[in-house]
Structure 1
Amino acid sequence: MNNQKGVFSDVNDAIYAATSSFKLYSKLSLRDKEEVIREIRRKLVDYIDLLAEMSLKETCMGNLEDKKLKIKLAIEETPGTEILMSEIRHGDGGFTLFEYTPYGIACAIQPSTNPCETMINNTIALLAAGNTVINCPHPRAMNVSKFLTNIINTIISDLTGIENVVVTLDECKLAYIKEIMNHPDVDLVVSTGGSDNARSAVSCGKKVIAAGPANPTFIVDETADIKRAADCITRGASFDNNIMCITEKNIIVVDEVAHKLEEELKKNGVFYVKDIATMLKLSKLLLTEDMKPNKLYGGKDADVILKDAGIKTDRSYKLIAVETVKIHPFVTEELLMPLVSIVRAKDFDEALEMASDVEQGCRHTSGIHSNRMDRLRLAERVMKTSIFIKNGCSLDGIGICGVGGTSFTIANITGEGAVTARDFSRKRRCVTVDTLTIL
């Protein structure tokens, strides 16, 4: 075993530890679990800066201040036990209690894009539901993930005396993850990020909550508040260099207001590209020969991208906008770079059709900027995404606006959407027949 608490070098040792701790953790009262989560929130706040620094240094993606904000959001806004409200129905024949109970041992697969915030978010929710957790971090974020696991375990053991409520491995290979997912003692699999892991999870034959690929697409129609729309797009698409699965990747704008949107984006400090020569320079740098995203530039700063593409600028930029056609890889591929595509449509009907095509049925995130209620409702029904934002920034979809709590696992594959402790619980129907008599 690694000298860090909860970090194991052997899969079976990690599973045995999580299983043993569950027997003790499951005996805690709801009030005890609430205290565990309060203590985790209280003490993790002191590590926000360090976790953000470690995450940026190890993954080489995104920017420091945005990572701090994401980690803070996960600590403070992840719903806990308060969301697990039981329901009672009664009548002449007795009463029925619907309650949320733990699955048991959960395998939680984390992404490289949001390693700390996803682990914190999932761990708080899984513990609130009464589960113990085996975290499987992305290989690009192993060190910070092990460090975070050690902190959380120390907090829990100091408070309750229970060790290894949250565990992880010293290294996370795909073979190890598959072994954990398919182990008979593991009851729940939560897969965040990565299509390969999601496919493996869905086929493991147990309860799975899976997040898959995304291509967030937003519509701007001719009735929209263009200044506000541009501000929302800029904040969302530039946030942490656009490595989050929910942030704006594509904008479908009605031609009538496309020029206004361009001007407002430029006022917000966006490097706007319309000419073919500049677009080709960016395409050559950011796409491979098979027209897939160049992963070497995933999460890099916009200034680095512009410089390496040979594009001279007289100032610093946080976001690049490229006006192009809907079949360009900048539109069809999830780049995970501070670049947003702009595609023109002749009218709202064409914009909605384009947006649906571009989102490609991922059912992840989409949105619209419009002042017509009928269009807001229609776009929501047509897009059918797990997160849908009306006249706001994509970040509002995970609770930046302070409403609805936060989730860094958007289960678009299995359909739970933005998951909470309720999704990490088994719903039990407990029936008491006739009158309860106590002798």
Structure 2
Amino acid sequence: MEFGTKEISMIVEQVLKNLEENNLISTKKTSNSGLYSDKGDYGVFERVEDAIDAAYEAQKIYLDNFKIKDRQRLIAAIRKVSIENAETLARMIVEESKMGRVEDKVKKHLAVIENTPGPECLTTDAITGDGGLMIEEYAPFGLIGAITPVTNPTETIINNTISMISGGNGIVFNVHPSAKKVCAYCLQFINKTIIENGGPANLITMVKEPTMETCNIITQSPKVRLMVGTGGMGMVNSLLRSGKKTIGAGAGNPPVIVDETADIKKAAKDIYYGASFDNNLLCLAEKEVFVLEEVANDFIYNMVDEGAFLLNGAQLEAITNLVLKYENGKYDINKKWVGQDAGKMLEAIGITGKSDTRLLICDVPYDNPFVLLEQLMPVLPIVRCKNLNQAIDYAMIAESGNRHTASMFSKNVDNMTRFARKIETTIFVKNGCTLEGVGIGGEGYTTMTIAGPTGEGITCAKSFTRRRRCMLADGGLRII
């Protein structure tokens, strides 16, 4: 049977009508917003309410029309385009936020792109017996509200996106205002990639001008089923008070202990690398070192040999006055210096010719403000301790119950076990830099959302799902 032009036009018109009725496409022409929507700019919206609505509708389409193999295909495409943009993102972050180092941010991006698990971690549990067959599977929450930090802005977007859409969810982001441009760029190329690979537009969205008010609107929306916050404890505590299920990744002030049995040269090398990485912006980075007195001089010598600049008394006082503030009887961080180069700090106190310096170190008592504050700067305090008990006690004080990350360099298994049991951190690294605890140079997968306060730990797709049980009774489907 042959069709004329008129008949073909009628058939096409009817197909389009059927697709529209099934919510698979919009009646309007595909614009820069992509398929399934006529609002927003590849996921970036002027109004937060529109960002919520668009992601909510996209998630329903995603759940109804896309299988696990489709999720895997979309995530593979997201990984590919993110690798292509890793260096661009790193440069844009430094330019916009004025924090960190481009070369280290590239490494962080590659880690989350390559090492964040996809749907493969959503394994089904099954139990059979005389009573029948029971299976438990991981189902999506629906729409997730995600708050991201300025310290790891697009790294967190990519990490959260892979994990959350692997679980079948949609996401509305409230990004940090100091990284909103680079976050918009990242979110848009991810959305374009999803659309180009047959997925729904606006599966991930954000508001163009994020504020505390937009965050509150996301938190209070009945369409948002789960809140995820990566950043400071103030933000996490606010989300926990919202009444919604919350996954919170809060602050850390990771201590390191170096005992008398440690390989001192290796300890210095690894700690120097971890503490100076991206100017110490990672919450899991080494923030202070407690070293036993008998090896302290050797350790400091090796730190200097690695490239660290040892501050004398006058220089430490000048750096303290520069990068910390003293108000109402206590020290706090001068945010102007968060994530800045160590060489820039030295230049500010009159020490020139050291622009390539990556880390400042200082020999201080346990109650020095650099020990007690999570400063997110390349300034590493070193505390001499009489014995292991004292080192553990000081480390506990500095860690402040965050239970985030800690590490130890030792050849004594009993010593490492004792510290690990006392400190109770989500991540505990032995004889390596703490970066290895999230798969950067070590084993295991990577995340930027380390949920210590709410207990999920190193998050992955499984963390952002609900366990659902299906029971087929009376021995059904069993062949024995």
TM-score between the two structures when normalised by the length of structure 1: 0.97
Indicate if the aligned counterparts of 2:74 and 2:199 stay in contact, CA closer than 8 A. Answer: no
Contact 2:133-2:476 within 8 A present in 1 as well = no
State the distance in 2 between where 1:227 and 1:399 align: 23
**1:4 and 1:146 in contact (8 A); partners too:** no
> Contact conserved, 2:140 with 2:464, CA < 8 A, in 1?
yes
Deviation at 1:267, TM superposition (A): 0.7
Q: Which residue of the other structure, out of 211, 231, 236, is the alignment partner of 2:269?
A: 231
Q: Which runs of 5+ in 1 are unaligned?
A: none
> What residue in structure 1 maps to residue 437 of structure 2?
397
Among candidates 226, 232, 239, match of residue 201 of structure 1 = 239
Alignment match of 1:281 (pick from 305, 318, 322): 318
Paired residues of 1:178 and 1:200 also in contact (CA < 8 A): no
- Give the C-alpha shift of residue 197 in structure 1: 1.7
Residue 416 of structure 2 is matched in structure 1 by 376
* Identity rate, percent: 39
**Are 2:454 and 1:414 equivalent residues in the alignment?**
yes
Counterpart pick for 2:170 among 123, 132, 135: 132
**Is it true that 1:5 corresponds to 2:52 in the alignment?**
no
Structure 2 residue aligned with 1:154: 192
Q: Give me the whole-angstrom Cα distance separating, in 2, the residues matched to 1:379 and 1:430.
A: 43
For 1:367 and 1:225, locate their aligned partners in 2 and report how far apart those are by CA, in whole Å. 14
Q: Tell me, what secondary structure is at the counterpart of 1:97?
A: strand
Question: What secondary structure does 1:351 align onto?
Answer: helix
Aligned to 1:31: 69
- C-alpha deviation, 1:312, in angstroms: 4.6
Specify which of 150, 153, 159 is matched with residue 112 of structure 1: 150
Distance 1:288 1:146 in 2: 33
Deviation (angstroms), 1:401: 1.9
Cα deviation digits, residues 319-378 of structure 1 (max 9, x gap): 001111111111111111111110110011111111111111011110100001111111
Matched, 1:180 2:218: yes
- For residues 354 and 246 of structure 2, what CA distance do their matches in structure 1 show? 50
Residues 1:131 and 1:263: Cα distance change in structure 2 (over 3 Å): same
Q: State the Cα distance separating 1:310 from its structure 2 match.
A: 2.4
Cα gap change, 1:74 to 1:94, in 2 (>3 Å): same
| Contact 2:450-2:458 at 8 Å conserved across structures | yes
Conservation of the 8 A alpha-carbon contact between 2:435 and 2:442: no
Q: CA deviation at 1:4?
A: 2.7
Q: Is the 8 A contact 2:438 2:446 kept in 1?
A: yes
Equivalent residue for 2:90?
Answer: 52
Structure 2 residue 346 is matched with structure 1 residue 306: yes
Whose radius of gyration is greater, 1 or 2? 2
How far apart are residue 173 of structure 1 and its match?
0.4
Letter in 1 for 2:437: G
Partners in 2 of 1:191 and 1:430 — Cα distance? Answer: 31
Task: Tell me which residue corresponds to 2:56.
Answer: 19
Q: How far apart are the structure 1 equivalents of 2:142 and 2:354? A: 57
Worse overlay, 306-315 or 321-330: 306-315
Please report the RMSD computed on the Cα atoms of aligned residues, expressed in angstroms. 1.4
Aligned partner of 1:72 in structure 2 is 110
Kindly provide the CA deviation profile for residues 78-113 of structure 1, in whole angstroms up to 9, marking residues without a partner as x: 011111111101100001111111000001110000
Greater CA drift, 311-320 or 174-183: 311-320
- Cα deviations across residues 370-421 of structure 1 (Å, max 9, x unaligned)? 0011111111110100111011101101111241110111111111111111
1:336 and 1:203, CA in 2 relative to 1: closer, same or farther beyond 3 A?
same
Contact kept, 8 Å, 1:281 with 1:310, in 2: the verdict is: no
- Asked if 1:354 is matched to 2:394, the reply is yes
Matching residue of 2:203: 165
Give, as a single letter, the amino acid of the residue that structure 2 aligns with 1:36: L
Q: CA deviation at 1:247?
A: 0.4
Q: Counterpart of 2:95 in 1: which secondary structure?
A: helix
Q: Distance in 2 between matches of 1:253 and 1:313?
A: 30
Name the CA distance, whole Å, in 1 between partners of 2:442 and 2:272: 19
Q: Is the 8 A contact 1:4 1:147 kept in 2?
A: no
Give me the whole-angstrom Cα distance separating, in 1, the residues matched to 2:394 and 2:266.
22
In 1, Cα distance between equivalents of 2:193 and 2:469: 34
Q: For 1:257-293, what per-residue CA distance to the aligned partner results, in whole angstroms no more than 9, with x for missing partners?
A: 00010110011010012x3212111111111122111
Secondary structure of the residue aligned to 1:88 is strand
**Distance of 2:130 and 2:262 partners within structure 1:** 55
- The amino acid that maps onto 2:145 is C
Q: Deviations over 1:45-81 (max 9, x none)?
A: 1111111111110000001100111111111110111
Judge conservation of contact 2:40–2:46 (CA < 8 Å) in 1.
Answer: no
Is 1:335 aligned with 2:372?
no
* Contact residue 133 and residue 167 of structure 1 kept, 8 A: yes
Partner of residue 359, structure 2: 319
Gaps of 5+ in 2: 1-37
Partner in structure 1 of residue 7 of structure 2: none
How far apart, in 1, do the equivalents of 2:112 and 2:199 lie? 25
- Structure 1: distance between partners of 2:220 and 2:256: 38
| Map 1:416-431 → 2, pairs under 5 A | 416-431=456-471
What amino acid sits opposite 2:402 in the alignment? C
Report the Cα distance in structure 1 between the residues aligned to 2:319 and 2:260, rounded to whole angstroms. 29
The aligned amino acid for 1:176 is T
- Counting matched residue pairs gives 437
2:381 partner letter: S
The one-letter amino acid of 1:163's match is: A
- Cα distance in structure 2, aligned partners of 1:371 and 1:16: 55
User: TM-score of the superposition, structure 2-length normalised?
Assistant: 0.89
